[in-house]
Structure 1
């Protein structure tokens, strides 16, 4: 009996461990981290993607190559079939569907909304996925003492970061997010990085 009471007390204590303190302003570690990662001009990643919108939901696998003014993103079904290929250059945005038909628009968000039913915020996502805001609009964020953001709000999206891992990315060593949640109205996206 005493052992079971001790176990229950230990579990209760573990579940109420305090979370690290969070600040609404970027300390020097956060500013240095943003400056370092803002210089990253290209990356490639593989991730699991979960999407919920309008009472619907599905999971997919994502392969994304980002470099400067270009993005190539492939979205695969859980069975490995390519559902969409999104290509963005400085001049155009194209989505090739699973039947090979090409669709064009001015931006990825409106294109994915019209064809897939949900908005993919690619304009900000290339920075948000690194755990930093983009420079194009105001933002609000909360940070832990080591400089990583816990939350980020920008362009009407709320981004939450659940975990970070030390990662080497194009010669830059940084703590990068591995689980990122994004929400805008009823659209919820979850990205879990499998490989940088």
Structure 2
């Protein structure tokens, strides 16, 4: 169970969460993104620090879409699909269902991750489902600080200071 939780902790945030082999740039539309994603979780209680990186292809919005995570060697690590009222995550361990992306993350990780919000953050904008506080170089939302200071270069950094501290760094194949 602990191994499955660690695997889920690595894969699900990466749902959104990619470093790896270079890939040919893909066309970026308001509803399609591709790039590399890296997630770091600091050690907390009896859980060691862990990190994960993968290439990602995101289609859709926070309400409806799909995400594929790929290893540096091109192996599909996970596929997620969601629509109102349902989210599915497929890995080599099988399929997991949830009522939403956030519910799925809570079930897999033991805590809720704002995956629907992260999808909007990857587009450089706040999620419309929660209050936002604007900052000179980004914004804060849902307890996360979103740094957009290098977003014009295709780089987004999101940090959650609450324990366990989580950092997400995304590099889009094509800058917005």
CA 1:110 to 1:78, structure 2 compared with 1: closer, same or farther past 3 Å?
A: farther
Distance 1:90 1:103 in 2: 16
Distance 2:113 2:67 in 1: 11
The aligned counterpart of 2:130 is 137
Q: How does 1:8-87 map to 2 (within 5 A)?
A: 42-53=30-41, 54=43, 55-67=49-61, 69-87=63-81
| Structure 1: stretches of 5+ with no match in the other structure | 1-40, 144-149, 166-176
Distance 2:70 2:166 in 1: 19
The aligned counterpart of 1:160 is 147
TM norm structure 2: 0.68
TM norm structure 1: 0.61
The aligned counterpart of 1:174 is none
Deviations 1:34-57 (A, max 9, x none): xxxxxxx95111110001114111
The aligned counterpart of 2:19 is none
Provide the alpha-carbon RMSD of the alignment.
2.5
| Structure 2: stretches of 5+ with no match in the other structure | 1-28, 44-48
Question: Cα distance, 1:109 vs. partner?
Answer: 3.2
Q: Are 2:167 and 1:191 aligned?
A: no
Question: Cα distance, 1:78 vs. partner?
Answer: 1.9
Distance 2:76 2:116 in 1: 22
Distance 1:75 1:120 in 2: 17
Structure richer in strand, relative to its length:
1
CA 1:111 to 1:156, structure 2 compared with 1: closer, same or farther past 3 Å?
A: same
> Which protein is bigger by CA-based radius of gyration?
1
Distance 1:57 1:46 in 2: 20
Q: Which secondary structure does the structure 1 equivalent of 2:104 belong to?
A: helix
CA 1:141 to 1:112, structure 2 compared with 1: closer, same or farther past 3 Å?
A: same
Deviations 1:125-170 (A, max 9, x none): 2322222222222111123xxxxxx1211111111123233xxxxx
